[in-house]
Amino acid sequence: MDVYGELVDQYADFGRYAVADSACFAAWAAAVAEDPDLLAWLSTLPAGKAQPNLVFAAARWHGVPAPGPYDGLRDALLGDDGRIRATILARRTQTNEVGRLATLVPAFATLGIDEPVALLEVGPSAGLVLYPDRWSYAWETDAGVVRAGDGRSLSCRVRGPAPVPADPPRVAWRGGVDLNPLDVTDADAMAWLSTLVWPEQDARREQLGHAIEVARAEPPDLRRGDLLTELPALVAEAASYGPVVVFHTAVIAYLTDPDRERFHDLMAGLVAAGACHWVSNEGPRVLPRVTATGPAAPEGRFVLGVDGQAVASTHGHGTAMTWHP
C-alpha cells in the first residue's frame, strides 16, 4: 500500500492485505473504497494522513467499536466534531511490531559478525524492535522447528534456505533516529501503540505489552531528527560500540519517492564505505532498486534486503518468510 497513492487504491489494497489477519479491517477498508462520501471526507486530510491504519486507529481511540459494523466507523467520521481529525493529524502509525524480529534475525545472521553489534534503527518509534537478544525464536521450517534464544518466543513460518541462527545476535548498543521518538515510560504513547494493533489480534497486543516491559528495563538511545540528515553522524557515533547494523521495517514507505531514492543512495554509500551494514524490510514499491535484485514478492509481502540485495519476502507482522534460493 502506498500511503501517498490514490485513496481508493490505498483502501482497496489495505482491505486485501488485512483479510487474513483482521476481518473487521478488511471489511471496513473494502467499504471505504466504495463509499464516495467517506472518500471525500478523507480527501480533506493532508497527504499521507488518510492511510487506513491511522484513520481506523484514531476512530477506535475515540470509541468506535472494533470488531464492529462499518456503519459505526462511517457515522463517527462523517459526524466528527473535530476530535478524530485532530488525533489523525497529531498521531502517527508507529506500530513497532516486535514480531518482525523473527524475520530480521536471520538477515542479521547473514552478516557474519562474531562480536556484539551496534544496532541502529531508522524510524524506531519507541525502539521495541531493538531487542533481538531479549527474545527467543521458533522458526517453523520444512525440516522441523528450529529454536534459538532464551526469552519469550516469537514464531515464524519459514520456506526456503533461510540461515536461521543458533543464537540471537549480541547487542552492545541500541538506538535510532525518528522524527517523533516515543518514550516507553509515557503511558499515553504506549496506549496509542496498543490501539494501532488490529482489533482481533489480542496475542499481538499482549506481545506488545511484554515488548514495552523489555524496553522499559533498559530504554534505547533514541534521537529526534530527520533520518536523511542525522543518520551519517549517528552511524559514526554508534561505531564506537561495535560493527554498526542499520535496519528499518515499514518506515521508508512514509517518505516521498524522491526522498526514498535519496535514502537508498545514502545507505548504499555508507555500506560501500564500510561504515555499516544495511537491513531493509519494506513494501515492494518502496525501495525498487532493492526489490529488482530478487524475484517478485507475493501480494501483500515485504521485501527483506541485506546491503541492498533482496534475500526474502516477509509477512508484515513477522509471522512468515520465504527465503530466496
* Beta strand segments in 4-116, E: none
Grid cell at residue 43: 480527501
Scan for cell 538506538, then name that residue.
175
Per the domain annotation, does 251 fall within a domain?
yes
What is the C-alpha R_g of the chain?
19
- CATH label of the domain that carries residue 207: 3.40.50
CA 121 to chain centre: 11
Q: What angle do CA 167, 169, 170 make, to 5 degrees?
A: 115
Do 204 and 299 fall into the same domain?
A: yes
Residues 116 and 157 in one domain: yes
pLDDT digits (tens, 9 = 90+) for 250-274: 999 989 999 999 999 999 999 999 9
Residue 74 has pLDDT above 80, yes or no: yes
**Do 38 and 134 fall within a single domain?**
no
Average pLDDT over residues 148-159: 94
> Which residue carries 519469550 as its cell?
152
Q: Is residue 244 helix, strand or coil?
A: strand
1 in any annotated domain: no
Residues 206 and 270 reside in one and the same domain: yes
pLDDT of residue 2: 61
Name the one residue in this structure whose C-alpha cell is 536523511.
228
pLDDT digits (tens, 9 = 90+) for 190-231: 999 999 999 999 999 999 999 999 999 999 999 999 999 999
Residues 69 and 133 grouped into a single domain: no
Q: Which of 63, 90, 117 is the last residue of a domain?
A: 90
The answer for residues whose C-beta is within 8 angstroms of residue 163's C-beta and 6 or more apart is 106, 109, 110, 323
Instruction: Indicate the average pLDDT of the chain.
Output: 95
**Which among 90, 114, 146 is the end of a domain?**
90
Output the pLDDT for position 72: 98
What pLDDT shows up at residue 95? 77
Q: pLDDT band for position 21 (50/70/90)?
A: confident
What is residue 150's three-state secondary structure? coil
Domain end position, chosen among 90, 123, 140: 90
**Other beta carbons less than 10 A from residue 280's beta carbon:** 28
20 — pLDDT class (breaks 50, 70, 90): confident
DSSP 169: P
Q: Is the domain of 55 the same as that of 122?
A: no
Q: How far apart are CA 118 and CA 59, in angstroms?
A: 38
72 plus 162 within the same structural domain: no
pLDDT(282) > 90: yes
Long-range contacts of the stretch 64-71 (C-beta < 8 A, 24+): 66/24, 66/25, 66/28, 66/199, 67/23, 67/24, 67/199, 67/200, 68/24, 70/27, 70/28, 70/31
Whether residues 68 and 163 fall in one domain: no
Report the number of distinct structural domains present in the chain: 2
Q: Is residue 230 included in any domain, yes or no?
A: yes
The pLDDT, as a whole number, for residue 25 is: 97
Instruction: Tell me what the mean pLDDT of segment 110-137 comes to.
Output: 97
Predicted confidence band of residue 93 (pLDDT cuts 50, 70, 90)? confident
> If you average pLDDT over residues 90-110, what whole number do you get?
93
What pLDDT score does 94 carry? 81
Q: Are residues 286 and 193 in the same domain?
A: yes
Identify whether the C-beta of residue 245 lies closer than 8 Å to the C-beta of residue 112: no
Q: Give the range of the structural domain holding residue 47, as residue numbers without chain letter.
A: 7-90
Q: What is the pTM of this model?
A: 0.88
Q: Which residue type occupies 325? A: P
